[in-house]
Amino acid sequence: MTIEPTAQQAAALFESVYGGAPAGLWAAPGRVNVIGEHTDYNAGFVLPMAIDKYTVAAAAPRRDGVLRMVSTAGGGSAVEIALDQLTPGNPRGWTRYPAGVAWALGGAGVLPQTFGGADIAFASEVPVGSGLSSSAALECSTGLALAGVAGANISPAELARLAQYAENAYAGIPCGPLDQLASAFGADGAVLFIDTRTFSINVYPFDLADAGLTLLVINTRVSHDNAESGYQDRRTTCEKAAEVLGVAALRDLTSADLPQARAQLDEKAFRRVRHVVTEDDRVERFVNLLNLGPLTGPRLNAAGELLTASHVSLRDDYEVSCAELDTVVDAALRGGAHGARMTGGGFGGSAIALVSQDRVDKVSEAVLAALPQAEIFQAVAARGAHRFA
């Protein structure tokens, strides 16, 4: 997929609303997390990839200290707020994400004191509520656009850090760093092995086509909102469990520690811990498979088993799946997928399936027979946030 149509939409919206051409276009992708779910806020391991669905921000500077925001998905009316009125909780709705980024960049000194505001128009191909990080794509495109029109520099690491901070502190979403890191650091044909304690990132080739494979994304179209779901409850349970078990984070535990954890925790807390510990292990095992070469033969079977085991753990131990996600995962496996799992925070959103290219139609047919509303597309590992024009 090319960014060009989305960029044209953003530029056209900008001109129609603001009456002139933008100073530039900045793009940031959504992401698929291949494996490693709900481990990022436990200082653990994740393996995401940016995908070729982008949010594009068309922007130009202002001189009056005002931020104006409009989106193709927001009804066409611009929301306006003075920079000195930016405060967590104001404004509400979708604009709290870009507004929060402006607030975070200003507070961190990325934007100069002379920064006079900006007009921004957004267009996006990242489905909202799909578990593919539409918010991170919106935040990272905003961060690049604001820095760009202000003549400031921002590194991918700082972009990811401040975008996450904006989502946590301004929008009130208690997400970990996975989404913003994936959007900022994404690479063509590669996955990112991220240690969320140290923020170290190792890039691994993930050109599935060379192995005759593809990664199907199955959007259930069941919308989720982490702010209103059980996300915070899961995070709080993990933090309390780590305290009881005497570790800085659940990442510090191994499978050998689980019997002792079972003795010290109630059943629900133990199951949450067991998911995190085994999921971290699955990420490392998946990366080891990538180190050995293309996913073919026994390596492909092992990779598929890890994906499916991840879903079972998320469904049974972490309890963040839902009926629709379970339905499409089961259907994909019946259709011949090597492995399948929900991806993202859960409570709706999307699943992924690792599929041989000659089985794509069969798997898709099985999924649509089980859940006709599903949207299915092939994900391609793509470039991270960047200036487009």
pLDDT tens readout for residues 335-346: 999 999 999 989
Q: Strand pairing partners for 341? A: 352
Residue 127, pLDDT score? 85
CB of 286 closer than 8 Å to CB of 10: no
Q: Is the pLDDT of residue 110 over 90?
A: yes
Count of CA atoms in the C-beta half-sphere (13 A) of 182 = 37
Contact predicate 210/357, CB 8 Å: no
Percent of the chain clearing pLDDT 90 (strictly above): 90
Q: Based on the fold, state whether residues 148 and 237 are members of the same structural domain.
A: no
**By residue range, what is the domain housing residue 184?**
4-200+383-387
Q: Give DSSP secondary structure letters for 214-241.
A: EEEEEE------TTTSSHHHHHHHHHHH
Calculate the alpha carbon distances from 21 to 6, 11, 252 in Å.
Answer: 16, 7, 52
pLDDT for 320 beyond 80: yes
Query: Which residue in the list 40, 179, 280, 317 is annotated as catalytic?
Result: 179
pLDDT score of 36 more than 60: yes
Instruction: Read off the pLDDT of each residue in 118-139 and give the average, rounded to a whole number.
Output: 92
Same domain, 195 and 241: no
pTM: 0.94
Same domain, 262 and 157: no
Q: What is the domain count for the chain?
A: 2
> How confident is the model over 109-135, as a mean pLDDT?
93
Gyration radius of the chain's alpha carbons: 21
DSSP 3-state assignment of 175? coil
Which one-letter DSSP state was computed for residue 42?
Answer: G
DSSP state of 77: P
User: Nearest 5°: phi and psi at 331?
Assistant: -65, -40
Residues 40-77 pLDDT 10s? 999 999 999 999 999 999 999 999 999 999 999 877 78
d(CA 212, CA 239): 41
| CATH code (residue 68) | 3.30.230.10
Position 227 scores a pLDDT of 45
Residues 74 and 70: their CA atoms lie apart, in Å, by 7
Do the bridges between strand 45-61 and strand 24-35 make them parallel or antiparallel, or are there none, so unpaired?
antiparallel
Write the pLDDT tens digit of every residue in 366-385. 999 999 999 999 999 999 99
pLDDT for the residue numbered 223: 73
Share of the chain above pLDDT 70, in %: 98
Q: Active-site residue 225, yes or no?
A: no
Residues 273 and 319 in one domain: yes
Question: Please, which pLDDT band fits residue 264 given cuts at 50, 70 and 90?
Answer: very high
**Are residues 100 and 147 both part of a single domain?**
yes
Both tokens assigned to 73: 């998905």
Give me the residue label for tokens 């990325």.
110
Strand partners, 387: 26
Average per-residue pLDDT for the chain: 95
215 and 134 within one domain: no
What pLDDT is stored for residue 225 in this prediction?
Answer: 55
